[in-house]
Amino acid sequence: MVGKIGEKYIRKVQKHFFDGISFLDKERGFILGDPVGGNWMILETSDGGKSWKTMENLPPAEIGEAAFAASASSLVAFELGLIFGTGGLVSNLHFYDFKNEDWEKIETPILQGEASQGIFALAKTKTNLLAVGGDYTKLDGQDKNAFRFSNQSYELPVIPPLGYRSGIAYLEKDNLIIAVGPSGSDYSRDEGKIWKNFSTTGYHAAKISCHGETAWASGSNGRVAVLFLR
């Protein structure tokens, strides 16, 4: 159970599976879940997770469209709205505008068409949205496993991450983006145009600490790591 949920939501939540979580601040946050009744499920809190309610005006999901929970990073909340990425038979970005209270869906260039393919994690910088993923059955696959998005246009990397990646984190103070996956970790200092591999140790998720100065990663068998910059 995630916090306290009203009676009319309990049954729905018990049958639901959550994929991503993101907070704007210490009070307001959002959770993305698998579609229910043809629409994506998004819960929101305004009290730091003590209670949750279903968002109104939820966007529809296409047949075969899925969200991945590998790193809980397929959803990003920022000052203007929400963004979440999907995969499966199709891969889309879904944008929610807080001001206009409406959704926009945009197709993506990432690998898609199979249940194991698509966007697995998102990170937002000041100028771009970064996405990583690929195919979790092909750990070393570099085909369309990342892109960056800005001003309604996509750009694939000149040098992509060295395999399927399930987690991503943006360390703003160092202008550094980290992508992690079961086959290793990569970094980029040019907002995802060129990725360089720096480790072959597998991790599933990458997060930035609450003070925004340290990158952490977690993986199988309880593996946890912290990134030190030299």
Which pLDDT tens digit goes with each residue over 151-197? Answer: 889 999 999 999 999 999 999 888 899 999 999 999 999 999 999 99
Average pLDDT, the chain: 91
The pLDDT value recorded for residue 2 is: 45
Q: Which residue has the tokens 């987690």?
A: 167
Q: What is the pTM (predicted TM-score) of this model?
A: 0.89
Max Cα–Cα distance, the chain, nearest Å: 52
Does the pLDDT of residue 213 top 80, yes or no?
Answer: no
pLDDT, residue 212, reads 63
For residue range 115-161, what is the model confidence (pLDDT) as tens digits? Answer: 999 999 999 998 999 999 999 999 999 999 999 999 889 999 999 99
Instruction: Look at residue 214 in the predicted model and tell me its pLDDT.
Output: 80
Q: The tokens of 190 are what?
A: 């040019």
Distance CA 10, CA 22 (A): 21
Cα dist from 48 to 29, 51, 70, 106, whole Å: 7, 8, 23, 30
